[in-house]
Structure 1
Amino acid sequence: MYVDPPAPRPKAVDERPPATSSGPLDNQPTAWEFNPEYQRLVIAWQSVLPQLETLRTTLDKAFNLARSPQTWDAPVGERYVQDIREWRARLAVYRHAVLTAISDEAHDTPRWIPAKTNAPHAFP
């Protein structure tokens, strides 16, 4: 069994951008915006997780029904139980891979980026 990796955090209502910039422009006012790439990862996580849960719940229900002695009255039933057990294991590996990929990408993506709106331009 796998434990889900940390989910990307959506922007909180009271969350503020970084107070100062780092580098040669320290103490210069910088406009910040919530990174749209990070927001896409938050949305991806929130859309994928319910679908994975639905698949897991459906397979668990089928697995429990297949294991019931009232469902199968022949030795061939164990083969179907084994197949469903394998599907459940594959789904767990798939879930872990997908959520880890999103989580790793979110970890490497900055939450805030400098906004381009206040950048000076040499030519209009």
Structure 2
Amino acid sequence: MFVDPPAPQPLQPGETPPASAAPGLPSPDGTIAWEFNPDYQRLVTMWRQVLPTLDTLTSTLDKAYQLARSRDVWDAPVSGRYVEEMAEWRTRLGLYRQAILTSISDQAADTPRWVPANAGAPHAFS
């Protein structure tokens, strides 16, 4: 069994941008205008779209695997081969899930949550 990597966290109610002493481009009045990074938000949205689909695939395959292992469903010599194939599919799906979620999580870790509003800074998807 695999453990999912940490999910990117959406903008929390009351969350504020970094202190103005952080590096960034100052506005004319000397303060820095910050915005929540839209590319980081896309990673949050992507995680939320992908996770339910992966959960559905996993639970559906697990249910079919449990049924295939039951002698009440199929009691034939060839059934062992299909159960082994389904076990392999479960492993592949686990690896696939891990790869997808890890890539989103890693990209989120490398993407700043806040960017200066007028910086034109490079983002994850540019």
Residue 51 of structure 1 is matched in structure 2 by 53
Q: Which runs of 5+ in 1 are unaligned?
A: 118-124
2:17 is the counterpart of 1:17: yes
Residue 112 of structure 2 is matched in structure 1 by 110
**Higher Cα Rg, which structure:** 1
Residue 123 of structure 2 is matched in structure 1 by none
- Aligned equivalents of 2:75 and 2:55: distance in 1? 30
Q: Point out 4+ residue stretches in structure 1 off by more than 6 angstroms.
A: none
Q: Identity of counterpart residues, as a percentage?
A: 59
- Aligned equivalents of 1:70 and 1:47: distance in 2? 36
| Shift in alpha-carbon separation, 1:24–1:49, aligned structure 2, 3 A | closer
Contact 2:47–2:104 (CA under 8 A) maintained in structure 1:
yes
Letter in 1 for 2:55: E
Q: When the two structures are superposed, what TM-score results if normalisation uses the length of structure 2?
A: 0.87
| Shift in alpha-carbon separation, 1:20–1:82, aligned structure 2, 3 A | same
Residue 91 of structure 2 is matched in structure 1 by 89
| Shift in alpha-carbon separation, 1:58–1:23, aligned structure 2, 3 A | closer
Letter in 1 for 2:35: E
Residue 124 of structure 2 is matched in structure 1 by none
Residue 71 of structure 1 is matched in structure 2 by 73
Q: C-alpha root-mean-square deviation of aligned residues, in Å?
A: 1.9
Deviation at 1:25, TM superposition (A): 6.5
- Aligned equivalents of 1:24 and 1:39: distance in 2? 20
